[in-house]
Chains A and B, each alone.
Chain A
Amino acid sequence: MEKLFRSKLFVWTLLVLTGLWPAWPIFRQDQTVLADPLQYLLHHYGFVACVLLATVLTLTPLRVLFSHSRLALAVNRHRRLLGVSAFFYALIHLGVQFFHENGWPTFFSDIRKPFLLCGLLTLVILLLLAVTSFTFMVRWMGGRRWKILHRLAYLAVPLAAYHQALARKLFPMQVLWIFIPLVVLEAARVMKHRLSTTHPPTVASTK
């Protein structure tokens, strides 16, 4: 299990398969998909981007909370890959939106609506994080500044969740199961942090 999750090949395969997933219903001649293929692609890639964004942010709390778990350490190897993939799929999502809106005029008039603006803002954040994820960029920025910048990911989450929650006529329940685990894990991490700072270890730390 741990070996599998350590494997780059495994994670890459998962990521590529998610991207190719829409080929399956088209092969099956699923009428619901064929009826409105752009809407289907739009929702699929938006969904994948949200799942990846939520997933990559669970990695840190998993590592902190289960610091002895080799599995938690194994999945933490893929932080950058998952984060950049979230951006990549969000970009595809935006590209599909362009065709979905049939070009610039509607695209521009619609992007002002809060629902779509939040989606765009999420993408801008993900873009910033993706371009600064190269090793030389991290070195150039310095660890501290890089870390502060990458905290923007926590702003991207509510924006993405809000955007996704409004993507259907009725509130889609998937938003909850995508983002609630993340909220729970983060809360647990904060709790653990609080507990460890209010009861400092008896051995004085060397400064």
Chain B
Amino acid sequence: MNILRPKESWHLRESEVTPESVYRLRNRREFLKTIGVGAASTFFLRSHALAATGGFPAAPNSDYPPGELRVTPYTLITSYNNFYEFGLDKGDPVVNSNRGWTPEPWTVTIGGLANNSGKWNVEDLLKKMGGIEERVYRHRCVEAWSMVVPWDGFPLRKLVDFADPKPEAKYVRLTSFEHVKGAQDAGFGGPYLEGLRIDEARNELAFIATGIYGKPIPNQNGAPLRLVTPWKYGFKGIKSIVRIDFTTREPINTWQKLAEYEYGFYANVNPSVDHPRWSQASERVIGGTLFNGRQATLMFNGYEKQVAAMYRGMDLRKYF
């Protein structure tokens, strides 16, 4: 482990990190026995609780098991992050987001064209979502690197149904917390914004994560709530969500606003549509070996079966 950097509250001791071999066993009882004790002790001994701690350990969703996927080690998932409000380098968020910032208490606002608009405390909202489940998803960044992440959380569809959007609502706009100085340094001109078509938000894959590896999600990964849309590039996965609005017009997401020729609204993983500066045909596997760390990128990041129907008839070169 790191010899110079001080341990943070989210840091797991080596003994608490689920070894891949144990993780892959997927024998639920065995798995819990192995990690349960360590996990419980961190919850109760933690000096400050993370915001969305409800429901752990999550029940694995057997539709999204690790299967043949090589799950990325916990230390890499939680120390290699793009979270520009906490610094522009991959190693910055792990340090800066754990320096005095705490996602507690956390309020989520539902607004726009929704019948059930209002403000909710994140813990209460979590209870209304009926607990959490675990899904192992591929994660493909637009920068052509990828991970496999075991997320804990709930389907976004549940939240959409809870908000009860009006029939004229066609899109969902998500807003991240405003880290004033961070957003300014990154040149975002306001809080990070993302959006989905409402049918995308209701797709079975769209997920709100509250945890990783059976633990509350660390600040640098987007505590307490973050979006996970595994068939889209990682930047769609807006972190630390404070607002969800239902709209009639397509929201302009932050990266599209910054560089509309490079990043679009859809951002579906597509190996045949290159980024203007690099190829999207393949990806570097995080934690892979030095000289054989690339693998071919799959259409919709391997989730064609679940999502392709939503884009039938669309020119994906134009709607990138």
Contacts and interface: CB of A to CB of B under 8 A. Distances in A.
Interface string A10-44: 00000000000000000011111111111100000
A127 to B, nearest CB: 23
Given A39-B284, A102-B282, A102-B294, A32 B90 contact: yes
A28 B4 contact: yes
A109 B279 contact: yes
Contact of B287 (A35, A38, A102): A35
B76 interface: yes
**Which of the four size classes fits the interface of chain B?**
35 or more
A139 B291 CA distance: 43
A102 B258 CA distance: 30
Interface in B272-287: 274, 276-279, 281-282, 284, 286-287
Interface string A34-71: 11111100000000000000000000000000000000
A199 interface: no
Contact of B279 (A29, A30, A34, A110): A110
A170 interface: yes
Interface in A139-176: 166, 168-172
Contact of A37 (B187, B278, B282, B290): B290
Interface in B1-52: 1-4
- Consensus secondary structure, chain B interface: loop
Contacts of A116: 277
Interface string B248-287: 0000000000100000000000000010111101101011
Interface residues of A, number: 28
B291 A99 contact: yes
A32 B2 contact: no
A177 to B, nearest CB: 14
A34 B186 CA distance: 25
Contact of A170 (B84, B282, B291): B84
A113 interface: yes
A168 to B, nearest CB: 8
Interface string B79-93: 110101000111100
B164 interface: no
Given A36-B145, A36-B286, A113 B84 contact: no
A162 to B, nearest CB: 12
Contacts, number: 76
Given A28-B2, A38-B290, A113 B76 contact: no
B67 interface: no
Contacts of A37: 290
Contacts of B287: 34-35
B277 A106 contact: no
A38 B284 contact: yes
A162 B187 CA distance: 19
B75 interface: yes
A30 B277 contact: no
Nearest to A35: B80
Given A29-B2, A170-B88, A36 B80 contact: yes
Contact of B277 (A32, A33, A113, A172): A113
Nearest to B4: A28
Nearest to A31: B79
Given A31-B2, A35-B80, A170 B284 contact: no
Nearest to B88: A170
Interface string A114-125: 011000000000
Q: Which 4 A-B pairs have the closest CB atoms?
A: A32-B91, A31-B79, A35-B80, A102-B294
13 contacts: A28-B4, A29-B3, A31-B2, A31-B79, A31-B80, A31-B91, A35-B90, A36-B286, A38-B293, A106-B281, A166-B277, A170-B186, A172-B88
Interface of B: 1-4, 75-76, 79-80, 82, 84, 88-91, 94, 142-143, 145, 186-187, 258, 274, 276-279, 281-282, 284, 286-287, 290-294
